[in-house]
Chain A
Amino acid sequence: MPKGPRGKIEKPQDRRKVMLRLGQYLLQQKGLLMICLILTFASNFLVLLGPMLSGRAIDAIGTEAGKVNFELVFWNCGLMLVFYIASSAMTYLLSVLMIRFSQKIVYQMRRDVFEKLVELPVGYFDQHQAGDIVSRISYDIDTVNTSLSNDLLQIATSVITVVGSLAMMIAISPVLVLVFAFTVPLSIVLTKVMTTRLRPLFSKRSSKLGELNGFVEEIIGGQKTVKAYHQEKTMIDRFDQKNLEAVDAYYDADYYGSMTGPSVSFINNLSLALISMFGSLLFLADALTLGTLSSFVLYSRKFSGPINEVANIISELQSSMAAAERVFRLIDEAPELQDAPEAKDLESCQGQVDVEHVSFGYLPGKTIIHDLNLHADPGSLVAIVGPTGAGKTTLINLLMRFYDPDAGAVKLDGYDLRALKRRSVRAQYAMVLQDTWLFQGTVFENLAYGKKDATLEEVMNAAKAAHIHQTIMRFPNGYDTLLTENGLNISQGQKQLLTIARAMLLDAKMLILDEATSNVDTRTEIEIQKAMRKLMEGKTCFVIAHRLSTIQNADTILVVQDGEIVEQGNHQSLLDQGGLYATLYRSQFQ
C-alpha cells in the first residue's frame, strides 16, 4: 500500500498536545529509552572516530616511498577495526532494543484503542465507518510505529553526527570550517524554499489521487448501472478529467521534487570542491597534513548528510503526528457511563418493563422521544413499526441501557435501570437482530457465546429448538465446523436460525427481536417463524416489526416516524384513531 494516495493529509490541530501525549507513551519505557539514547551516542561517537584514525594512518603512510611508519599504520588500522566492529554491534543491539521499545508502545496503544472501542456507546458505531476505525487501529498506529523506531533514532544520530563532525573539523582546521559558513546557510535556505514550495504540491497530489480513487470506487461499484444506461463513454470522459488532474498534480510535485536530490548533491559537491581548493592551499602553507585533509573531507560528507535529511524527517514526523492525533481522538471518545457504586446486581427478573415520562435525544437540544410512557407486563408483546430508517432502534437502546434517558426513567421489575448494574440488566435480555452476527470460530463457540460453560448437550437442545440441528449435523465437522467468512456456504436463513439458537440458550426473561426484512427462502422462513414463536414463549418481547401479522397480536404498538414516537396503542385502537398507522395499514391494499 503506497503511503501517498489514500486520504488527505490531516494537519494536527494541536501539535504540542499530541507530542506531549506521545511523550507520555515513550516515558512508560523510561529505562529502555535511556539505554537506547546512550547506545546511539556511543555507537555514533565510535563511527566519528573513524575518519580521524584513517587520517592518522594516512599521515603515517606519508608521501614518500619507503618511509611508511608501519607500526603507526597498524595501530590506527587496528583501532579502526575494533571501533567499527564495536559500533556495528552496538547499532544492531540498538535496533533490537528500539524494535522492542517501539513494539511495547504500539502494543499499549492498540490495547488502549481497542479497550476504549468496546466501551463506547453503540451509537458511535452507527456514526463511524468500520473502515475508518480499522484504519486507526492498524494503519495509523503503524505510521506512529515507523516514525517512533526510525525517526527518533535518525534525529538522535543526526544531532550527534552534526555536532561531532563539526567539533572534529574545528579541531582539524578552524579555517577550513569557514567553507560551511557558506554552504550550510545555502542548504538551509534550499531546504526551506523546497519544503514551502513542495508541501502544497504534495498535499495536492494526495488529494487529487484521493479524488480519483473515490471516483473509481464509486463508478466501478455502480458499473452495472452505467452499463444499463449505456453511459460508459460519459464515465470514461469524466474519469479522464480526474485522471488528468491526478497525473498533473503528481507531475507538478515530481517536477519540483526532482530538484531536491540533485540540489543536495550539488551542495555536497560544492563543499568538496571548496574544501579541495582551500585544503590544498592550506596544505601548501603547511597548515594541514594530507591525513587531516582526508579526515576533513570525510567529516564534511558526514556533516552535510543529516542537514539535508532534516526536511524528510520533518515531513514524516508531521504525518505521524496526524496519525497519532487520529488515534488519540478515538481514545478520548466518551465511554458509556460507569455503573453507580451502589448499583444492584439483578440476578433474575419477572420481565415487567415500565417506561415513565422518558425524553431522549442523541444530541443535546434534539429530543426525539418526548414524554414516553409504556407499560409491558411479563410475557406481553410490544411491537415497534414505522418506515425504514425511522429510528426504531432508539427504544431498544434505552431498554438495554445502551443509553440513559435525558428525563424520566426506564424501569425493570420496578427498579430504575440506573440503579442496576449494566451487565445484570443486559443479561435479562435475549436478542435476535436482523444483521445476523457470527464470528470466525466453530459452530459450538458461536452458539455458546452468551453462556459460559454451556455443555454440548445444552447447545444441541437449543439448536434443535431452533430447527437448525439437522443442518449443523450435515456440516463437515458438525458442531466443530469452523465458520469462516468465505469458507462454509451457509445461507442467510441458516445464519438467522443460528442466532436464534444462540438466544435460546440464554435464560432470559425478555426478548428483543428485529424481524428480518430480507425474505429467506419460503421454507426456511416458515422454520424461522416457528423458531421465533418458540423463543418468544413466556418472554416479554419487543419486536421491530415488518410484518403486519405480528403487529395485530401485539399488546402495544409504537409507531415511529423520523425518529419520534408518533402513536401508541393496540391494533384496533390505532385503526380507530385514523392516524399514520391507519394510513400505513390501509395503503398496502391500495
Chain B
Amino acid sequence: MKQIVGYIRPYFGRMTLGLLIKFCGAIMDLLLPWILSYMIDEIVPLKEKKLIFLWGGIMLGCAVISLVTNIVANQMASWVARNTTERVRHDLFSRIMMLSSKQIDEFTLPSLELRLTSDTYNVHRMISMMQRMGIRAPILLLGGIIITLTLEPVLSLVLILTLPFIAILVYSVSRKGIPMYTALQKGTDHMVRIVRENIAGIRVIKALSKTDYEKERFHQGNEEVVRLEKRAGITMALTNPMMNLFLNCGLTGVILVGAWRVNAGLSQPGKIIAFLSYFTIILNAMLSITRMFVMLSKGSASADRISEVLMTPEDLLLEERPRKEESAHLVFDHVSFSYQKKEYNLEDIHFSLEHGETLGIIGATGSGKSTIVSLLMRLYDVDQGEIRIDGRPVQSIPPEELHTMFGVVFQNDFLVAETIHENIDFGRELSLDQIERAAAAAQAGEFIDSLDDGLEHLVTARGTNISGGQKQRLLVARALADHPKILILDDSSSALDYRTDARLRKQLKEKYSDLTSVIIAQRVSSIMQANKILVLEEGRMIGLGTHEELLKSCEVYRQISESQMGGNAHA
C-alpha cells in the first residue's frame, strides 16, 4: 500500500486542490437543509415574500455550486487515478518482464497475470473512488452531526444514540457473514471442478455411460452451493432492514423529544423538519463509508500484491568470472541443478560442442531435456559446475549479448496475435529478405505463399487459426531469421510429418551449416544424424555419442530406437 501511495505523491498538489473543491461541494449539500429550517423558523414568520425568494435563490445557488464543484473535483480525481494507474501498470509490467524464470516460477504465471489485470484495475477504482467519497462521506457524516448539534444539541443526541447500534449491527453481521462467503467460495470451486472434470473426460464418461452418475454428482455440488449461498445471503440480508429500523426509530425519537422541547419553548418545528433531512444525509454517508471500507480493503490487498512484485530484488546479476581458453563453442562442465533445491533435476551433465556441431537430446518427459536449454540460456543459474560459451562462463555474459546469440524455439512456444511477418520478426526489425529466407528454410514458404495476404496474414492469439505444423514452421523461421550463432529447437518438429521434418533438417545442414545447434526431440529420426546425441533419464546422462555408437553402448537408446522404427534403425 505504501508503495502505491508513493505513486500518487507527485499528484498530491492536484489531489489536495481537488479535495478542497470537493470539500466546498459537500459543505453546500450540508447547507441546504439548514437554509430550509432557517426559512421556516425565521423567514416565514416575517411574512416577507422578497426574503423567501432571496433565500430560495440562495438555495438554488448552493445547488449550482455543489453541482459544479463536485463535477470538477471528480474529474480531477479521475485524472489522478488515470496517471497513477498508468505508471503503476507500466512499472509492474516492466518488472515482470525483467523477473528471472525462477522468480516467475515462485509467483506462478496466472498469479502474475491477475496482478497485472484485476489488481491494477482494483487499484484504479480505489484511487478514483477514494478521492470522490473519501472526503465527501466523512464531511457529510461529521458535518451533518455538527450542524445538527448546533441546531439543536438535545435532538442530536437522540440521533447519535442510534449510531452505535448501527455500527454493532454492521460489524457483527459482517463478522458472521464473511466466513460464510469463504465457505461458499469453496463450494463453488468444488462445483466448478466437477464441470471441468466432465469437460475434460467427456469421452471416457460417455464411453462408460456414466452421464447419470455425473449428473447426480453435479446435482449434489449444486445443492451444496445453493445451501451455502442461502445461508450467507440470509445472514447478510439482516443488515438493511435492521439499519432502516434503527434509523427510523431514531427519527421517531427525534419527533417525540422534539415535542417536549417545543412545548418547553426550547426548540422550533422547522428544526425538526431540518433534522429529518439530515437524517437521510447521515444515513447515506454511513452507507458510503461502509462501502469505502470494503473497497479500501479490496484495493489495499491488490496494492500489496502489486508491491510484492515491484519489490522483488533483481536476480541473476552479472558476475565476474575468468575466461577459459578452449576451442569448444558450448561446454557443460559437470553441471548439476535443482528447481526446488531438493532433489537434483539435472546431475553431473558434461559435454562439449564444437562450432557448427549439432547436439541431439533424447529422453523421457521430465528427464531434464528442456532444463538443459534453460540453463544454457541462463534462465536459471546452475547449482554446481559451469556452462561456458566460447570459453566465457554464462554468468559473465551481459544478458543483451547472451540472449542475442540464440535462435530458439521452446516447447509449446507462442505466437502473438499479429501478422506472420511480425511473428517471425518478433520486434527485431529485420529486413524482408532475412524473413523470407528464414521462412523458406523453415519450410514455411509454401504455406505462406498459399495465403491471400502472405506475410501480412493475421495470426490469432496462440495461433489458433493455423495448424500445429504451420505454427512450428513459423517458430523455426523466427529462430533462424536473425542468423543466430546457436540454434535451439526444443521438440519443435513433433507436429511436422516425417517428410517435412527431413526437408527441414536438410535445409539446416545446407544453409545454416555454421550454426551450432541443440535439438531436443521425441523421435529418434529427428536427431539420429547429430554429431552427438545425449540420452537423459531422470536427470542423468546415460549415453553420449553418435547414433551408431549409442545403438551399441546404450541399452535405453536402442530400445527407444527399436520401438519407434522397428528393426530397421540402420537403414
Contact = CB atoms under 8 A, between A and B. Distances in A.
Interface string B548-571: 000000001001101111101001
Contacts of A232: 94, 97-98
A162 interface: no
A222 B79 CA distance: 33
B199 A221 contact: no
Contact of B499 (A87, A222, A583): A583
A580 to B, nearest CB: 9
A352 interface: no
Given A247-B86, A439-B197, A517-B522, A224 B255 contact: no
A138 B190 CA distance: 11
B1 interface: no
B527 to A, nearest CB: 12
Contacts of B113: 213, 216-217, 220
A293 B40 contact: yes
B78 A518 contact: no
B379 A224 contact: yes
B413 A222 contact: yes
B499 A231 contact: no
A244 to B, nearest CB: 7
A88 B208 contact: no
A65 B262 contact: yes
B208 to A, nearest CB: 4
A80 to B, nearest CB: 5
Interface in A110-159: 110-111, 114-115, 117-119, 122, 125, 130, 133-134, 137-138, 149
B85 A63 contact: no
Interface in B454-471: 461-462, 467-469
A5 B302 CA distance: 15
A281 B363 CA distance: 95
A162 B209 CA distance: 57
B497 A65 contact: no
A134 B280 contact: no
B29 A269 contact: yes
Interface stretch (A7-15, A89-97, A458-466): A89-97
A409 B117 CA distance: 52
B262 A61 contact: yes
Contacts of B523: 588
A225 B62 contact: no
B209 A423 contact: yes
B177 interface: no
B244 A91 contact: yes
22 contacts: A61-B262, A63-B268, A66-B264, A68-B263, A70-B259, A77-B252, A81-B249, A95-B241, A118-B205, A138-B195, A216-B113, A218-B462, A225-B413, A250-B124, A273-B56, A277-B55, A290-B273, A427-B209, A437-B201, A493-B364, A521-B537, A584-B497
B379 A280 contact: no
A522 B234 contact: no
Contact of B417 (A88, A134, A218, A297): A218
Contacts of B342: none
B118 A2 contact: yes
Contact of A209 (B101, B121, B276, B467): B121
Contact of B60 (A63, A270, A549): A270
Contact of A133 (B86, B199, B270, B427): B199
A280 B403 contact: no
A41 B265 CA distance: 41
B301 interface: no
A277 B63 CA distance: 14
Nearest to A272: B32
The listed residue with most A CB atoms (<10 A of its CB), out of B60, B207, B260, B537, is B207
A237 to B, nearest CB: 9
B366 A492 contact: yes
A298 interface: yes
B214 interface: yes
B344 interface: no
A144 to B, nearest CB: 14
B82 A273 contact: no
A61 B258 contact: yes
A272 B36 contact: yes
A254 B240 CA distance: 29
Interface stretch (A23-31, A170-178, A259-267, A372-380): A259-267
A203 to B, nearest CB: 16
Contacts of B403: 227-230
A219 B366 contact: no
Interface stretch (A100-108, A353-361, A411-419, A533-541): A100-108
Interface string A506-550: 100000000001111110111001000000000000000001110
A57 interface: yes
A361 to B, nearest CB: 19
A587 interface: yes
B259 A2 contact: no
Contacts of B70: 261-262, 265
Contacts of A133: 195, 199
B562 to A, nearest CB: 7
Contacts of A348: none
Interface string B62-74: 1110110011001
Using C-beta atoms within 8 Å of the partner chain, give the interface range for chain A.
Answer: 35 or more
Nearest to A389: B468
B109 interface: yes
Given A125-B202, A389-B467, A520-B365, A440 B93 contact: no
B59 A273 contact: yes
A119 B230 contact: no
Contacts of B496: 387
B147 interface: no
Interface string A312-341: 000000000000000000000000000000
A243 B93 contact: yes
A389 to B, nearest CB: 5
B566 A262 contact: no
A119 B211 contact: yes
B59 A262 contact: no
Interface stretch (A194-202, A428-436, A470-478): A428-436
A114 B215 contact: yes
A482 interface: no
B9 interface: no
Interface string A37-75: 000000000000010001001101111011110100110
Given A80-B252, A262-B67, A277 B78 contact: no
A216 B116 contact: yes
Contacts of B525: 587-590
B53 A118 contact: no
A223 interface: yes
Interface string B177-212: 000000000001001110111111111111111110
Given A122-B203, A247-B86, A269-B59, A225 B414 contact: yes
Given A62-B262, A552-B566, A5 B117 contact: yes
A119 B112 CA distance: 37
A408 interface: no
B89 interface: yes
Contacts of A50: 248
Contact of A226 (B75, B86, B97, B117): B97
A220 B101 CA distance: 11
Given A273-B32, A277-B52, A297 B276 contact: yes
Nearest to A430: B207
A573 B222 CA distance: 56
A84 B252 contact: yes
A224 B366 contact: no
B566 to A, nearest CB: 5
Given A95-B240, A107-B223, A232-B97, A433 B116 contact: no
Nearest to B217: A439
Contacts of B191: 110, 138
Nearest to A119: B211
Contacts of A423: 209
A255 interface: yes
Contacts of B379: 224, 227
B219 interface: yes
